Structure 1
Amino acid sequence: MLTANSRATNAQYPDELQSILSIRAADESGAWLSNWDQISSSATPLWNLPDAAAALSVARVSLKDEGFRSPLGSFKALGAPIALVRLILRHWHAHSLNPSGLLRGQYAEMLSNLTVISATDGNHGKSLAAAARDIGCQCVIVLHANVSVEREQAIAFYGAKIIRIAGGYDESVEHAAKLAAQNGWHVVSDTSYEGYETIPRDVMQGYGVIAAEALKQLASSTPFQPVTHVFLQGGVGGLAAGVASYLWEHSGAQRPRFVVVEPQQADCLYQSAIVGYATKATGSVDSVMAGLACGETSPLAWKILERCVDYFMTIQDEDAVTAMRSLAAGSDRDVPLVVGESGAAGFAGVSVLMQNPSLAKQVGLGPDSHVLVINTEGATAPGVYRDLVGEVVESVLARQSEWQKSHEH
């Protein structure tokens, strides 16, 4: 399903949104993160996929691969650590703490009694747990019923205390807030709600690093071809807001068209576009795209998205699985890629639209289009990946390595 957003504008990035997300804050976050050993010291790859572009009948497909961002396996490694650092800087403002030193554990003794808590579908919680471990504070993670044991174990590896609840993601968010109030803990969530916006804002600031890198990589590509469309994963809206706001501020009125993609049964952003305010999903929310299985839009992210996202669309779970398999297979000119369930959503969205000429025309997709998609995660649940793709991660990576060797110039 596809809906146009009548509130989207091609004007310059509004001054009133600068206090939420800005290039300045995103670049500052990136500088701090460059000192954390859980983040790659180099930019993540921007792959050109000419055979995919030909199959989709567009001029070019560029894929920004966040599976290479961190041992944590996803773009979430950019958000939770920055939110935790900024939280500590606010509460210990009299100590003149060094942000990079925080991530290296320089103040661990002073922060040993600090406890942070968050609900998660997996990747945000894992990143928060890793950051808390390295900074030296305590971490509690609340998991809902649909989070796999594999993802739970990955979070526990970083020393977090795990609390399981019945229900879905939104219930886990409520439970985390309740425990925080009872125990004097600090919620470090990637979704906002009434009275809670500062930390989700900080999380989204970290995601601007993706856009900053992509812009530099695109500018140096030969031949240079401006991006016309950016397909972004939905969820609560944090990634889409962090990336779109950076690109919007950078390009102003010449910004590309933004399309947000989410599971049909977790369509909170799609429904928000229809009613004109941040609202809830209409479906069961449970999706194979676990990172996007969110039932309620972040009101803070919506302040950005309602002004710049041109189209919102939903896809089926099988669309994401088909995209995962296609990207894993690779081709003569396209490198085989390990793309997780949620990571495949943007590419799947392009594929779904190009199968329907009238919808493709509505979005302005055609033979001159340069499409940017983001693989937001690698195989963060290797067992799930194997079951969906029919191939283990190591096999895809081996073919990727062989492809790269054969294409060295």
Structure 2
Amino acid sequence: MDVKTVRSKFPILDQEVNGHPLVYLDSAATSQKPQQVIDAVEDYYKRYNSNVHRGVHTLGSLATDGYEGAREKVRGFINAKSMEEIVFTRGTTTAINTVAASYGRANVKQGDEIVITPMEHHSNIIPWQQLAKSTGATLKYIPLKEDGTIDLNDVEETVTENTKIVSVMHVSNVLGTINPVKEIAEIAHKNGAVMVVDGAQAVPHMKVDVQDLDADFYAFSGHKMCAPTGIGVLYGKKKLMKNMEPVEFGGEMIDFVGLYDSTWKELPWKFEGGTPIIAGAIGLGAAIDFLEEIGLENIKQHEQKLADYAIAQLKDIDGVTVYGPEKRAGVVTFNCEDVHPHDVATVLDAEGVAVRAGHHCAQPLMKWLDVTATARASFYLYNNEEDVDAFVKALIKTKEYFGDVFG
């Protein structure tokens, strides 16, 4: 992969921050956008801005073709069987909430179990907490091993015949742990449960095949994979989705409306009430084209090499603790002894290095790590070893800045 050429596609990277070349290491929060994605969105607004599915005029037809064409690109990208299984949402959060509110409320009752892990993003915890509270179900957690990974024996012990839903993130946004979701799905299905996967940190960085994983539902966001903000995807098996009720009602998702009753459109449109995120979907389609041109396997290998390179250097800095397993995605979460992560991130920012600091929407995991917060450097296809070197150099400068407080 020619990283120099890839970087040239991202106009935002060609700038200085606080007098230093920008080193952007926060792609787990949101990725930057290549010029062809920016151009695709601009082209929609400049040339064929219109609503979809409604008008028979030329602009409406072009907009509909662009919107539904993006759906087909998503289908192929994750290897879903049918476009009917691809629902556009505002993002991963909305997608998971849709499953909890629609499938969950119809199929979970008092005495049932919902199983998740302590490493989940809040978006994959709170919907299940609320579902458990409203139905009387029990929320259970698969324990984590010391390195932040999951043991399938623990999954076997936690998931029972009373379990109705198992929901696990594919890749941890904090630890970089790559979870064995295919094997977890097998255990879930053996016990009669459905498998929900939070793929927000996986789809942008590795090839995902929902049929091979046998996930019943799979959710991800566009803005973490070079697409615009405000667009996401819920994949769901057709046999499940066709029996689910919509959670938002209004225009676009209806078939017939009477004074006292209404019927819904077929899949996937019954879940897309109101004017959809047209420009976002078109931008997502352009992002998929961009990522497929480079190759997801190339991206995965590149990020893992950068993570390994970074960890090797961080281990040589006294007072730095790195969290997570040895085998991981391109995420390096760390703390500096006696220095709050926000202070670390502030000094790094003064050197032009953008990292994340805080609890990363994973407070239960912070408690499990016995910390209040961490700093995180996350890599993507446009990062290189020079970015890592600048990050490490800035971190050493941070240590010097705090002096004996840092230790």
Q: Looking at CA atoms only, which structure, 1 or 2, has the larger radius of gyration? A: 2
Q: Is TM > 0.5 for Structure 1 vs Structure 2?
A: no
TM-score range, shorter chain: 0.3 to 0.5
TM-score by length of 2: 0.35
Provide the TM-score with structure 1 as the length reference: 0.35
Structure number with higher helix proportion: 1
